[in-house]
Structure 1
Amino acid sequence: MASPMTPGHQPTIAAENGRAARPVAVPSGAPLAVRGLTVSYGEKPAVFSVDATFPAESMSAIIGPNGAGKSTLLKASLGVIPLLSGDVYVFGQAIEKARERIAYVPQRASVDWDFPTTVMDVVQMGLYRRVGLLGRLSGRMTARARDCLDRVGMADFAHRQIGQLSGGQQQRVFLARALAQDADLYLLDEPFAGVDAATERAIIDVLKTLKAEGKAVVAVHHDLSTVRDYFDHVFLINVRRIAEGPVATAFTTGNLQATYGGRLAATHLDELSPTGGA
């Protein structure tokens, strides 16, 4: 797990093959930065020695083929899965010191939707870290939860059981829970997977509003055809970092080919990005 920086100390990545360790530059203002991040499930690394920096006031996409480590990178950045090596920094601080500045929307498929709870209960869960699990929410906090439901178009469903909703409605509710936390950094794992077109449009509108409010958004994304419309920064991964940067310069044919290899039909590359390399 990431270690807090101490005054005058610069973290290093361990030496490999007898070479001297190299210093790690930690951007002080970046909402999210990882350095030398390696995560392994068994003997095979899911993410290997990844450096990434996600800029402030931006919409960033993490893209790559299935099994490339996209969701693993996101979860490792949250500190919910153990790291084999590396460090995670949130606004220049070790993750342990800055978790309260992060809101997370998990993959819809990973949630137990049969759990008996209402829509309002789910959204209010995003507020309990302020008062503790045994604390009591104030009237102001409850009003905030209602406002967040209204923001995603779900205010009329506040007392509905979460399991009775459609997939798109469930995703809106989880976004409302994240909004209730009033975070500075929003991490979303495939927020548009399995939702209808109207919900996708509603979600992207909310995310773009967050960006306009000075927040940072980082999302695992699988639909390459919408990257240019939705995002302004992109991180391409296939276990290792392939490329990152502004969409205009990093989302290129060369980088897509390096990331997806033969899994991406060459006939569609020109439609997705301009010709270019890393």
Structure 2
Amino acid sequence: MARPELVAADGRPIAPPDPAGSPLAIRGLTVSYGESPAVFSLDATFLPGAMTAIVGPNGAGKSTMLKAALGIVPALSGTVSVYDEPLDRARGRIAYVPQRASVDWDFPARVLDVVLMGLYRELGLLRPLRARHRDRALACLDRVGMAAFADRQIGQLSGGQQQRVFLARALAQGADLYLLDEPFAGVDAATEKAIIAVLKALRDEGRTIVAVHHDLSTVVDYFDRVLLMNVRAIAEGTVADAFTPEALQAAYGGRLETDHVARLSRPADPGHAS
């Protein structure tokens, strides 16, 4: 599957982003769970201070790419750099929010304890937990609207509430780069609104947000940039440049209706609140 050339509205080719200084730059990444690759020779460059959606059909390798970039699953080939450094030297600058379905919610932990786990690099194994750490965790819970649930068992929460708690844990890390695997999957509308508000605020503070995203109808409103992929990279760039009918059809193999694709890639209403 060839990666189409991106062109501007006037027909000029759009150059791929320079990986130098990128919060996350991936080159030649290939991952396989068997004979067929889940991700093949993928290049991607995520720009600082932007919200980027990773979009593609089911089985496109979106979550696999993110996990391989983090070293959670092994790669057959390729390189990953984080702010021009190897992953192992820059892990402290990354916060990761996994898919909610991959978490054991029966683990006996309070909401506050889960958020405090985000401070493990700062606390270490032997340093005592102090009032300032608890206050910081509570402030992160308050930011996602969950401070009142601090003493609740994590397994007693709804799916949307659990997702907010995991976002609060990521906030506690004070990271520069936030990687989220389908943060809106299976959550209610109020939680989705709360999460996107927090992510946009982080973006406005200069942080970088990269999220695997499945709802094509919200890409234009939620994100600045997009990586369309289907095992290989299909298109990468601003939403206006890369989230086009041609790129969507290439990524989804013609499975999307033409009229629907045109509506998805249409610019947001200028009067729509972001």
TM-score by length of 2: 0.89
Letter in 2 for 1:143: D
Contact 1:26 1:92 in 2 (8 A): no
User: For residues 194 and 134 of structure 1, what CA distance do their matches in structure 2 show?
Assistant: 37
Return the offset for 1:137.
2.2
Q: Does 1:85 align with 2:77?
A: yes
Q: 1:42 aligns with which of 22, 29, 34?
A: 34
In structure 2, what is the equivalent of residue 107 of structure 1?
A: 99
Q: Comparing 128-137 with 207-216, which one deviates more in the overlay?
A: 128-137
Write out aligned runs for 1:177-256 (5 A). Answer: 177-256=169-248
Spell out, residue by residue over 1:88-124, the C-alpha distance to the aligned partner (whole angstroms, 9 max, x if none).
0101111111011000000001111111111001000
User: For residues 155 and 257 of structure 2, what CA distance do their matches in structure 1 show?
Assistant: 38
User: For residues 126 and 264 of structure 1, what CA distance do their matches in structure 2 show?
Assistant: 40
Contact 1:37 1:48 in 2 (8 A): yes
Return the offset for 1:153.
0.3
In structure 1, what is the equivalent of residue 263 of structure 2?
A: 271
Return the offset for 1:212.
0.6
Spell out, residue by residue over 1:166-216, the C-alpha distance to the aligned partner (whole angstroms, 9 max, x if none).
110000000000000000000000000000101000000000000011000
Contact 2:18 2:45 in 1 (8 A): no
In structure 2, what is the equivalent of residue 152 of structure 1?
A: 144
Return the offset for 1:129.
1.6
Q: 1:197 to 1:274 in 2, by over 3 A?
A: closer
User: For residues 178 and 221 of structure 1, what CA distance do their matches in structure 2 show?
Assistant: 18
In structure 2, what is the equivalent of residue 60 of structure 1?
A: 52
User: For residues 100 and 184 of structure 1, what CA distance do their matches in structure 2 show?
Assistant: 9
Q: Comparing 49-58 with 75-84, which one deviates more in the overlay?
A: 75-84
Return the offset for 1:140.
1.3
User: For residues 45 and 26 of structure 1, what CA distance do their matches in structure 2 show?
Assistant: 26
Return the offset for 1:134.
3.6
Return the offset for 1:274.
4.8
Corresponding residue SS for 2:233: strand
Q: Comparing 254-263 with 55-64, which one deviates more in the overlay?
A: 254-263
User: For residues 248 and 76 of structure 1, what CA distance do their matches in structure 2 show?
Assistant: 28
Which structure 2 segments of 5+ residues have no match? 1-16, 268-274
In structure 2, what is the equivalent of residue 139 of structure 1?
A: 131
In structure 1, what is the equivalent of residue 12 of structure 2?
A: none
Return the offset for 1:44.
1.2
Q: Does 1:163 align with 2:165?
A: no
Letter in 2 for 1:50: L
TM-score by length of 1: 0.88
CA RMSD of aligned residues (A): 1.4
Task: State the percentage of identical aligned residues.
Answer: 71
Which structure 1 segments of 5+ residues have no match? 1-24
User: For residues 107 and 184 of structure 1, what CA distance do their matches in structure 2 show?
Assistant: 20
In structure 2, what is the equivalent of residue 176 of structure 1?
A: 168
Q: How many residues align?
A: 251
Return the offset for 1:26.
7.0
